[in-house]
Structure 1
């Protein structure tokens, strides 16, 4: 089959043009948010009726950012969310990958039934278990620096531990592990490797794509948490960014400060996504394994 270079170049140009247009559609809200964060409320609302809303024109200043920090402890909220989200992602990848490894490679009684139960938890809305879970964590003991404590409310652990293991992440790992070459596992076992050595020396080095995918999904879920922290955290020093957003809708709403706050809390998401995107591409290039 002979490919006409002119037609191929035209198709490639059209393809990239369409992709650029789609990218612009998704970028427009970010551009509007960032530009609006530098404008006073009167100009912000007036510019929404024209393309000026997407341009850094008019009375541009950092007043909204200063006002946002005066209205709420923005740095503390961002720190809380990054800490809770980061620890949850790391622990979730470890625990869920271990569970998926057990479901995929080990043989034990009731394995398939247990996996079905784990997957079935995906259809249970969180609102159903929110109150029972609240009653549970309010009575659970914890051994900390101050000795035995009763109850997990107003702590970081109450925002982390209930979300470490979930059915979706386990299912993603199980599906990916099933696609790995079985010959690698068998050869490792024949050579005397323990199951733990197979996990961290053979399976996990080949699992870069699923690690990046699971990390992104878990990060978005945890960073956008609102209902659970609103229930279990009443003290300001443990509140995440989504609960902190309520500070800007009390009394007089300053939309410029709202946009500034949204810009500030979006930065960690963009940094995390760009980092994981590079890690995902690097893992694909370095492994190249197909089951």
Structure 2
């Protein structure tokens, strides 16, 4: 009897999980299937289960037309470059700052951390205009020497987003849970703070690095719309989210929109799957020996 109850509970649990998984998969299936249909079939099938089935006049014409309408390759390159550089710099700087908040003692540490975390509730729209005025006057060392104004560049889409309160908070909370005895023992052995950060803390921080990387990548890749529209007036520096505007001019080609969304989703899925495996591996291999 207990075995039967256990099998029944497992079957119910996996059935529930399967339905939850389907709820998350349905939008992806709808997007992929719709990208293969002409607009008339797409709109006609959207109110039935045929929307999730590749039936009717399916082809890759929407993908060909999407590449003809917009420089998708350039947009994806820009987004991946901006997101990857911002993510790497953010992980490095935020982890070092979190190390100082978690292990070092200096005046005003608690107040500084509280002030930084308070910025998380501040919407970007509230600082967009002041930030635009600021970056329009800042100097930058370019190929022709010192130039003023960061508009129409990659760094104007990277530098303002390197440090953020959420990434710092994740690292601070994780570092505070690490045994302080390891840091104190390293200090007794004569190790410097950066050596402790590199040789003691970083090897134990795999899970938080993977988690912060996934969140930072998704945030940067998906939120590149308002700010790039303000600072990137030329096509050369525009990311994928701004590229959506190319498909909403005059008559909307919904099949091309779905094809474009399918294409720009590939880097996100690839990065997420890669980091998910790294996250699982780091959790399995990370341990603290006494």
The interval holding the TM-score normalised by the smaller chain is over 0.9
Could you give the per-residue CA deviations for residues 75-108 of structure 1, whole angstroms, max 9, x where no partner exists? 1001100000000000000000010001111111
Once residues 4 and 195 of structure 2 are traced to their aligned partners in structure 1, the CA distance between those partners, rounded to angstroms, is 53
Gaps of 5+ in 2: none
* Correspondence 1:70-149 to 2 at 5 A: 70-149=68-147
C-alpha contact 1:181 1:290 (8 A) present in aligned 2: no
Cα deviation for residue 4 of structure 1 reads 2.4
Q: Residues 7-45 of structure 1, C-alpha deviation per residue, up to 9 Å, x if partnerless? A: 222211211111110010010000000000011001111
Verify: 1:228 aligned to 2:212, yes or no: no
Partner residue of 1:207? 205
The equivalences for 1:1-291 within 5 A come to 4-224=2-222, 225-289=224-288
| Inter-partner Cα distance in structure 2 for 1:254 and 1:16 | 39
Using the size of structure 1 for normalisation, the TM-score is: 0.97
Please give the alpha-carbon distance, in whole angstroms, between the structure 1 residues aligned to 2:10 and 2:31: 32
- Runs of 4+ residues deviating >6 angstroms: none
Residues 81, 223 of structure 1: 8 Å contact kept: yes
**Offset, 1:268:** 0.5
Q: Which moved more, 1:182-191 or 1:88-97?
A: 182-191
Displacement after TM superposition at 1:5 (Å): 2.3
Q: Distance in 2 between matches of 1:290 and 1:247?
A: 56
Offset, 1:201: 1.0
Unpaired runs of 5+ residues, structure 1, are none
1:249-278 Cα distance to aligned partner (Å, 9 max, x none)? 001111000000000000111001101100
Distance (whole Å) between structure 2 residues aligned to residue 199 and residue 40 of structure 1: 56
Measured after TM superposition, the shift of residue 210 of structure 1 is 1.0
Q: How far has the Cα of 1:6 moved from its partner?
A: 2.2
Q: Distance in 2 between matches of 1:47 and 1:270?
A: 27
Cα displacement (A) at 1:169: 0.9
Displacement of 1:188: 1.5
Normalization by structure 2: what TM-score? 0.97
Describe the superposition over 1:56-89 as per-residue Cα deviations: whole angstroms up to 9, x where unpaired. Answer: 1111111000000010001100110000000000
Contact 1:169–1:214 (8 Å) recurs in 2:
yes
Q: Deviations over 1:198-257 (max 9, x none)?
A: 101111111111111111111111101211111111000100000110000001111000
Which stretch of structure 1 is more off in the superposition, 7-16 or 198-207?
Answer: 7-16
The separation in 2 between residues aligned to 1:236 and 1:212, in whole angstroms, is 32
